[in-house]
Every structure is written in C-alpha cells, then in structure tokens.
Amino acid sequence: MKKYKCLLLTFLIFSQVIFSQVRTVKELDANWKFQKGNSENAFEINFDDSKWESVNVPHDWAIYGPFDKEIDKQNVAIVQNGETVASEKTGRTGALPHIGTAWYRNEFTISESEVTKKVILLFEGAMSEPQIYLNGKKVGEWAYGYSYFYFDISEFLKTGDNTLAVKLTNKEYASRWYPGAGLYRKVSLIIKNEESINQWGTSITTPFINEDVAKVNVKTKVSVKNGFLETTIFDTDGKQVSYDKSLVKFENEFDQNIKVENPQLWSPETPYLYKAVTQLFVNNELKDEVSTRFGIRDIKYEAHKGFSLNGEVRKFKGVCLHHDLGPLGTAINTAALRRQLTILKDMGCNAIRSSHNMPSFEQLELCDEMGFMFLAESFDEWAKPKVKNGYHRFFEDYAERDIINLVQATKNHPSIVMWSSGNEVPDQRGSEGVKRAKWLQDIFHREDPTRPVTVGMDQVKATMESGFGVLLDVPGLNYRVHLYEDAYEKFPQGFILGSETASTVSSRGIYKFPVVQEKNKQYDDFQSSSYDLEACSWSNIPDEDFVLQDDKPWVIGEFVWTGFDYLGEPTPYDKSWPSRSSYFGISDLAGLPKDRFYLYRSRWNTTNETLHILPHWNWKGREGEVTPVFVYTSYNSAELFVNGKSMGIQKKNNASPQNRYRLMWMDVRYEPGTLKVVAFNDEGHPVSEKEIHTAGKPYKIILNPDRKTIKSNGKDLSYVEVSVVDKNGIPCPNATNQLKFKVKGKGTYRAACNGDATSLEIFHKPTMKLFSGKLVVIIQSTNETGNIELLVSGKGLQNGKLNLVSKNEL
C-alpha cells in the first residue's frame, strides 16, 4: 500500500442539494407519533397510535429529562483515563433517560404517478439499532446509531397513505458520553425515475488547478443502459461558467472533464462555492437532475514541512466537537450549529473534528459555507470493546458498510481534508489491531483516493512498537506531548498531528486559590478553576501544545478537546454526583465563552485584537489576600492597575510555556474597586485598555440576543444571553438568581442553559438559576411571521424585555 510521505491532493468537491421537476425530496419532519416502550405490534398498519405523543423530527426523546444518577450507572475502569480499578460512574452518559426501546410512526401520501417511480428512504441518523417497517412489512435494519443509511422502498409502497414505523433500541453500557435517543437527524423520501443518478453516485475531482484554469473531473454513476449526461457549472452569482455533454458510459458511470477558467479557490478565508447542475437524459427526455454546490481547492501533506492548502503551508487550529447541542440534546438544528461555528470563527478556529462519529450533513454544509476544514471521524470502537454494548458488537458486519456510507455521502464537501477511522481504540495494541487499521484505511482509500486517513492514538509507545502508527497516512497523537519528538523520529511520515489536545478543565467564572498547576484536581463544589491551569492526569494545559505548534514545523496542527462542553463524561467528577456534563469545553454547555476562549483567541485570531482580564473582581472576604490576575491578549506586554496603582508591566517571555502565552501578575492583593489593564504595541506605546469593576447587588436583568430576526419556519432559533447588572450597570459575576422566562407572539420558549455542569434543572422548563451571573434562553420560531416578545423576571430584579421578529425570508 502506498505510504503518504508526500500526498498531493488536488480536487474539486461539492455538497448536494436536490431540487428539480424530475426528482422530489420530501423531508418527513412533521406529524410523527412517538411512544417510548416496546410496543410489539407498532409496525402494523392499523395499530392505534392515537394516544401517542405528537413530535417533530429531528427529535431526541431523552433531553427532556429528568436527570437521575441511576440512569446508566456504570461500574468501570476507564482505560483511556489510565484507570486500572473499576469504580462507580454516575454521570458518564449524561444521567438523562436515553436507555430503552421506542417507536416512531408517520403516515405519508404517495400519488398514483409517484408509486411507479423509484423511492429512496434516507435516514441521516437514528439512535440506535433502527428497524424500519413500511405498511406492516420490514424494510430493513441498521446497527450504528451515527451512520447514514437508506433503503429502496419502491416495492413496499402503495398509492395513497403509507405507514412508516421505526423501532429504536438504546442499550445500557453502550456509550461513554451522552448519545442521545431517537430520530435525531432528518428522515427523507427521495422520489425519482427508475432511470436516474444513483444515490451518492457523483464524484467530482480536479486533477489540475492553476491561476488560469481548473480541470474538473465529474464521475456520475447511473442506473440506465443508454442515455447521455449534461453538466453545467455556475459561479456564486448564478452565472454559467462551463458546460459539458457526455454520450459515453464506462459500465454504469459517466466520466466528464470540464474546464473552469479563472477558478476561485475554497479556503477558510474565502469559502467560495460554485454550483453544478447534472442532468441525465434518456431518448432526449430529462430523467434526473441533481443541483450541487462545490468548492475548488488542493491539499498537500509533506514530510518535515506539514500541511498546505492551495499551496500555502498552514496549521490546523481545530477543536473536537461531540454531536450534542447542549440543552437541545442531539436533535440536529442548523441555527444552533451556525451559532457554534460563528463563536469558533471569532476565536480564530479553522478546523473541526467530529468526535467520535459521523458528522451531520448540516454541519458539513455550514463548514463549506463558513470556511472550516474538517476531520471526519467514523468510530470510537473497533473489535475490542471500551463499553459492554458498544460498536464492537457490530464491527465485523458493519464497519465496511458504515465507512462506505460515510465516504460516499460526504466525500465531495470542500471542508473535509482528512478521514479518521478510529479514536483511542484498544486495538492499537497487538498484530490484529495493525491488520484492522490497514483494512479500514484501505477501504477509505478505495472509496476516496484523494484524502489521507488518521487514527487518534493514545497508546503511542505501543503503536511505535507494533507498526500501527507506521502504516497510517497521518499519525494522530492524542495528548502525550512528551512523546511527539520520539514519534516524529520513529514514524516515517515526517509529520505529526495533534488529533486531540489539552483536555484542560474549567468552569466558567469559577476561580480557585491558591493558583497553581494541578492534575485531576477536585473541589467540594464539583467545579474546576477558570485560571486554566488544571488538566486531567493524561493531559496538559493549552500552553504546552502551543509550544509544539509554534516551534515544530512538522507538527501540522491540533484539535483541542473540546470546543464546547457536552453532555456526559464529567471528568474529573465522573465519580461525583451531581455532575452530568463535561468541563473540557473552551465554551460552556450554553455556548458562553470561558476565559480559555480568549487564550486561544489571542493566538489564533490574527485579525482582531484580544484583551481579556481574569478573574472577575468581586471577592468579598478576600480583602488583602493574594488574588493573581491573568491577561490573555494578542499584545506582548501590558501594565496592570488596581484602583489606579500600578502593579507593574509584564512581558511575554520564554521562562515557561505559561509566561510565553499569558501575562500574569501573581502577587496582586485583592481590594474592591477597579482593575485596569493597558496593552502596549511592540514599540512600547499604549494602544488598548480594558477595565473591570467590583459590582454591587444585582439590580436589573439584561438581554442580548445573537439574532433579532429569525425565519418563520418553525425551526429557527435566537440565543438570548441573560445577565444581571447592579444599579450602575456593572455586571454581577457571582449572581445566582432564579429567573423565569415567558414568550409571547410568533415564537416559543425552547430551552435554557446556564453552563453549570452540576445543575439538575430541566432545560425545557421556563425557569433556571444564573450561573456565574449568566445563562442563555433559546427562542424558537413558529410557522407564522410577526413579533416575538421575551420577558425574563426574577425576585427583586428589574425585568428584562426583548422584542424579536420572525420573517419568511432573512
């Protein structure tokens, strides 16, 4: 097998959006009936589901709670964390009621003309082990809850009403984070002619790109014996830029080469997207049409040099993301994903790793649009288990099918620059694991020869000895910063990827004293310090990764664990209750940035200024005590003042990794009042300043939406940041007031979240406590246009009132 010491990948890629008069896509989102429990006859046409709950899909049945430490309580030793003795873990999978069997039922209508066509039933994710029935007959089943899959249901259909039933089963001990439950991604019908383009049957690459021209190769698999194919390419303004007609097929595939002059290249800075329209004709009659967005770009991985995009060497400034959306659970929502990516874009992030499973189509489409490179991951388990009922049960039968579906469904997204076949799999040890790694990598290569494959390795010494790390296209190291040099010397690829880095833990707005570096530190309140010096036993603080990224050209980037907190895996408190979500996030579960956000921003966002002070300055009872002050800034030096008195100038230096990336005044003694920092440019001139103040008692509620206008489609969201200020308008960072929410008009209350990993308040009840002075309320549109009013109230506080607008088009 070819080793990818230098892998030049030049190609044009696309994400598929379908609409035409010959092909119809019907999203089955409304009018579902849902019931948790094993209703054995629920697949029958005449089954009475009138008393079942009415829901829309995507849907996560477990997110509505309640939290309960008895749910999926696991007595395990977490090998990935270095544990050798089993212990009780109470919040490992989020303590939400995701375990059990449930049924979904829906009726859809097929016309007399449609019943003669080819109809595909597509599931983009079903958690888990779905069994699919149509009109009382079993259509098929799948195993992996994260996989996309489809069935040709043409033979099961009838004219008029058709009854679809889906059985889902979530077993206990099947995950090590919150997996969600239900039809959490879209379900669609694709209705087309029998003579048509195959599902996920188009592949587009460009074997040649320069400033003047791109050679576009379009391969299209079809289900016809005769006919011809026309492909037209449009620019972002809808202007036709190229066209080709092909009369010749090779077996079932058309192969077209199309010239695009003066190509606009896709990159994180300029995510330019074209559109291609491919039309299939038989006997001069249009039989099928697929409309497609795409991007042109080339990628290269070179020994001792690193990764380049469009000829420019660059580093991955990436984060890992689990698939849940905090208080929304796993039910996919484009507005929620867009908000996440907007926050990450501001931080300077340029890459995402889907952890540890297939990404949603919506996430990839947004990454195409907004400019994020993507590492698309497949599995967290191979044949050897991490959890009792994990993917290892299906590996032999399903791994190849799951990879095929992943690659075929998503390979044309310009954002995807790398595949991952696994994360911290126990199979890293031993010869059988090496064989599995090669087998999986070969499948990826067969399905997509244009991208490399990685694995997130945590058993680095074992992979050095076994040959596991040698065979990978891209050796990915999860943590183990002390082994980067050894891995670089022993692995032949000539570069190393930080496939998972940091695992620093913190709680937004919580600070602990004394301020020292700690591993696996725990406190009585089950929180972690936001001085960003606490990590897990196997991991490290951000600065150690920064040194490797900045000083070693053969380190091609990092994916931080994690961009946002997620449900489940509450390390270091996975033995403690209540703790039901992670502390790893750069932003919390509500999407509110922690202090660490600004540490990454100061290094990653090279366009905008960063100047951030921590901690807050409200420490009643600590008067006169040492209270260190950190500043995260894009400037190299600054002066700190406490109530006008200088604490001296600090400059970034190489005394330690922390001194290199942070400005730290370790001997400041607390006195209430004003904390001020003045930043200097490289010439020593003051160029920016910031102040924080000691607040009085909470007085008034402040509401700040991310969007004041949303779309009236019943799905769009506005995230409203809620905080309180004193009489002088100073934020109250310690406020914990209980607030209530009321929504009127053409919107509904969807959920709230305060980012507290120990909170057991239900997200979907219209009340919640502030945590560190803040929380977020989520407003959802209806299908009607008009005004929306949010009222937030709390005892002894001046109410907050906000007006939003819901419109047909934005």
pLDDT in tens, 627-661: 999 999 999 999 999 999 999 999 999 999 999 99
Total count of residues recorded for the chain:
810
User: What's the CA gap between 559 and 684, in Å, rounded?
Assistant: 34
Looking at residue 292, its pLDDT comes to: 86
Cis bond before residue 356 (omega within 30° of 0): yes
Looking at residue 83, its pLDDT comes to: 80
Residue 284 CB neighbour total at 10 angstroms: 7
**In the structure, what pLDDT confidence band is assigned to residue 394 with cuts at 50, 70 and 90?**
very high
Residue 289 scores a pLDDT above 60:
yes
Is the CATH number of domain 700-807 2.60.40.10? yes
Cβ atoms of 498 and 315 within 8 Å: the answer is: no
DSSP 145-158: TT--EEEE-GGG--
Single-letter amino acid code for the residue at 225: K
SS3 (DSSP) at 467: coil
What are the two backbone dihedrals, phi and then psi, of residue 678, each rounded to the nearest 5 degrees?
-120, 120
Could you tell me how many helices (H) and strands (E) the chain has, helices first? 10, 49
For the CA atoms of 643, 649, 652, 657, what is the dihedral angle to 10 degrees?
Answer: -60
User: What's the CA gap between 399 and 604, in Å, rounded?
Assistant: 36
**In the structure, what pLDDT confidence band is assigned to residue 1 with cuts at 50, 70 and 90?**
very low
Looking at residue 10, its pLDDT comes to: 42
| Region of 639 on the Ramachandran plot (φ > 0 left; ψ -120 to 50 alpha; else beta) | beta
Nearest to 222 by CA among 202, 245, 238: 202
User: What's the CA gap between 438 and 197, in Å, rounded?
Assistant: 32
What are the start-end ranges of the E strands in 681-798? 686-693, 700-705, 709-711, 717-725, 738-745, 747-753, 767-769, 774-781, 786-794
- 112 a catalytic residue: no
| Angle at alpha carbon of residue 364, lines to 750 and 338, rounded to 5° | 35
Domain residue limits, the chain: 9-16+195-298, 30-62+98-185, 315-604, 619-693, 700-807
Angle subtended by helix axes 595-604 and 334-347, to nearest 10:
60
Residue 129 scores a pLDDT above 90:
yes
Nearest to 317 by CA among 585, 600, 605, 557: 557
**Average pLDDT, rounded, for the chain:** 95
Q: Which residues of 734-743 are buried (b: 16+ CB within 10 A; e: fewer)?
A: ebebebebeb
What is the topology classification, in CATH, of domain 619-693? Answer: Immunoglobulin-like (2.60.40)
Residue 19 CB neighbour total at 10 angstroms: 10
Looking at residue 206, its pLDDT comes to: 81
pLDDT in tens, 134-167: 999 999 999 999 999 999 999 999 999 999 999 9
Calculate what percentage of the chain has a pLDDT beyond 90: 94
User: What's the CA gap between 80 and 569, in Å, rounded?
Assistant: 12
SS3 (DSSP) at 672: coil
Averaged pLDDT, 779-793: 98
Residue 515 scores a pLDDT above 70:
yes
Beta 496-502 vs 518-519: how paired, if at all? unpaired
Strand partners, 11: 297
Is the CATH number of domain 315-604 1.10.150.20? no
Looking at residue 81, its pLDDT comes to: 73
CATH no. of 30-62+98-185: 2.60.120.260
| Angle at alpha carbon of residue 702, lines to 696 and 707, rounded to 5° | 150
Per annotation, catalytic residue among 424, 534, 544, 639:
424
Cβ atoms of 18 and 290 within 8 Å: the answer is: yes
For the CA atoms of 137, 141, 147, 148, what is the dihedral angle to 10 degrees?
Answer: -30
Nearest to 66 by CA among 782, 580, 528: 580
CATH no. of 9-16+195-298: 2.60.40.10
Contacts of 727 (CB under 8 A, 6+ apart): 696, 697, 699, 700
Strand partners, 89: 74
User: What's the CA gap between 706 and 222, in Å, rounded?
Assistant: 44
Looking at residue 775, its pLDDT comes to: 98
Query: How would you class 219 by CB atoms within 10 Å of its CB: exposed for 0-12, middle for 13-18, buried for 19 or more?
Result: middle
Helical spans, DSSP H, in 289-391: 334-347, 361-370
**In the structure, what pLDDT confidence band is assigned to residue 18 with cuts at 50, 70 and 90?**
very low
Looking at residue 4, its pLDDT comes to: 41
User: What's the CA gap between 722 and 791, in Å, rounded?
Assistant: 11
- 683 a catalytic residue: no
Calculate what percentage of the chain has a pLDDT beyond 70: 98
Strand order from edge to edge, sheet including 24-27: 24-27, 187-192, 118-123, 149-152
pLDDT in tens, 447-493: 999 999 999 999 999 999 999 999 999 999 999 999 999 999 999 99
Cβ atoms of 542 and 600 within 8 Å: the answer is: yes
The HSE-up count of residue 503 (CA atoms within 13 Å, CB side) is: 22
Looking at residue 807, its pLDDT comes to: 96
For the CA atoms of 110, 116, 117, 118, what is the dihedral angle to 10 degrees?
Answer: 90
| Angle at alpha carbon of residue 317, lines to 597 and 302, rounded to 5° | 165
Query: How would you class 167 by CB atoms within 10 Å of its CB: exposed for 0-12, middle for 13-18, buried for 19 or more?
Result: buried
**In the structure, what pLDDT confidence band is assigned to residue 11 with cuts at 50, 70 and 90?**
very low
Asked, colleague to colleague, whether 9-16+195-298 and 619-693 share their fold, the answer is yes
Per annotation, catalytic residue among 500, 544, 639, 671:
500
Residue for token pair 């700190």: 640
pLDDT in tens, 82-124: 788 888 889 999 999 999 999 999 999 999 999 999 999 999 9
Q: Distances in Å between the alpha carbon of 440 and those of 76, 154, 184, 399? A: 28, 32, 27, 8
